[in-house]
Amino acid sequence: MSSAIQEVESLLRRELGRVVVGAETPTRALIVALVARGHVLVQGVPGLGKTLLAKALARTLGGEFKRIQGTPDLMPSDIIGVHVFDETQRNFVFRPGPLFADVVLVDEINRAGPKTQSALLEAMEERQVSVEREVLPLPADFLVLATQNPREFEGTYPLPESQLDRFMLRIDMDYPSREFEAEILARYGGMQTAIQTTLESVGPLDPTLLTAARAEADRVHVSDALAGYVLDIARASREHTRLTLGLSTRGALSLLKAARIMAGLRGSDFVAPDDVKEAAAWVMAHRLVLTPEAALEGLTDVEVVRSLLADTPVPR
């Protein structure tokens, strides 16, 4: 008999697979983020279906979806909302912005200015926003999916470390294989409405099943040795000679949460070192800051994560 976490995986793979072709790895990462209630940064070149993946996920959650396009002139009030004068009430009333949705896609987040990026910090961490001395709650399952193109530098503002640390996972999307790309052309190359028609066929996920999956993940056992393994990885990243910034405590917590869900996905009631290793690149890579010398040499953050996992002793 499958567990609640495995049922969530099966349903999401089926529903997202109706729309997005060849996205098994991103889908698995989204399942981890969804169960852990974490935000996701999707990185990749334009045209790989990042927006489509976010829309399909929003439909599976059955919640409201809003899209924010990152631009240099985007202001905090454009995403949070503003107070406007209502003639009928003779008073100022708050008009909420697109941030007040269940799933918010911030497309090309690194094109938004630092002030607008900072407006997301409170929302992502505390699921609330402060407006005119008033604290307004966001939806219970509030989820931010942000996209960025790592190869564009003109007119972009790199995300600060505090912002990156609030994303539980980073998913790196690459070009699909020839087989999957041929299927995409066959499925969507004939008519303009094909994508929208397919998107409308995506069914919602039972919220009680998601609640059960989260409770199940909380019950997955973490031994003292395994928790020590996560701490050893975090410590090694902070002392790595090729890094100026290692894994934060929030990052270590996210790694442990993700490992718990990975254990649940394989039907286990305890976390193994392999669960930590499988989730490490998603959780750690975007939080690490390379030294200038390492960046000039072409070293990537994912390669550093692999070296950390290779050099850190595995508990027995």
Three-state secondary structure readout of 254-279? HHHHHHHHHHHHCCCCECCHHHHHHH
Amino acid at 23: A
User: For residues 204 and 59, is the Cβ–Cβ distance under 8 A?
Assistant: yes
Last residue of a domain, one of 151, 184, 211: 211
Same domain, 227 and 207: no
Last residue of a domain, one of 176, 211, 246: 211
B/e letters for 18-54, b = 16+ CB within 10 Å, e = fewer, are bbbbbbeebbbbbbbbbbbebbbbbbbeeebbbbbbb
Same domain, 96 and 186: yes
Same domain, 42 and 135: yes
Residue 256: the pLDDT is 97
> Does residue 147 lie in a domain region?
yes
Residue 304: the pLDDT is 96
| Entry pTM | 0.90
Neighbours of 228 (CB within 10 A): 11
Same domain, 49 and 173: yes
Last residue of a domain, one of 164, 191, 211: 211
User: For residues 219 and 269, is the Cβ–Cβ distance under 8 A?
Assistant: yes
Same domain, 204 and 100: yes
How many Å apart are CA 265 and CA 10, to the nearest integer? Answer: 10
The counts of H helices and E strands in the chain are 14, 11
For the chain, the domain total comes to 2
One pLDDT digit (tens) per residue for the chain, 316 residues: 468 999 999 988 888 888 888 888 888 999 999 999 999 999 888 888 888 888 888 888 877 888 899 998 999 999 998 888 888 877 888 889 999 998 898 988 989 988 888 889 999 999 999 887 888 999 888 999 998 887 666 678 888 898 999 999 999 988 888 998 898 888 877 665 667 767 777 777 888 899 999 999 999 999 999 999 999 999 999 999 999 999 999 999 999 999 999 999 999 999 999 999 999 999 999 999 999 999 899 999 999 999 999 999 998 7
Same domain, 10 and 138: yes
Residue 278: the pLDDT is 95
Q: Using DSSP, state whether 198 is helix, strand or coil.
A: helix
> Does residue 316 lie in a domain region?
no
Tokens of 35: 């169960």
Same domain, 37 and 180: yes
Range of the domain at 124: 4-211
Residue 1: the pLDDT is 42
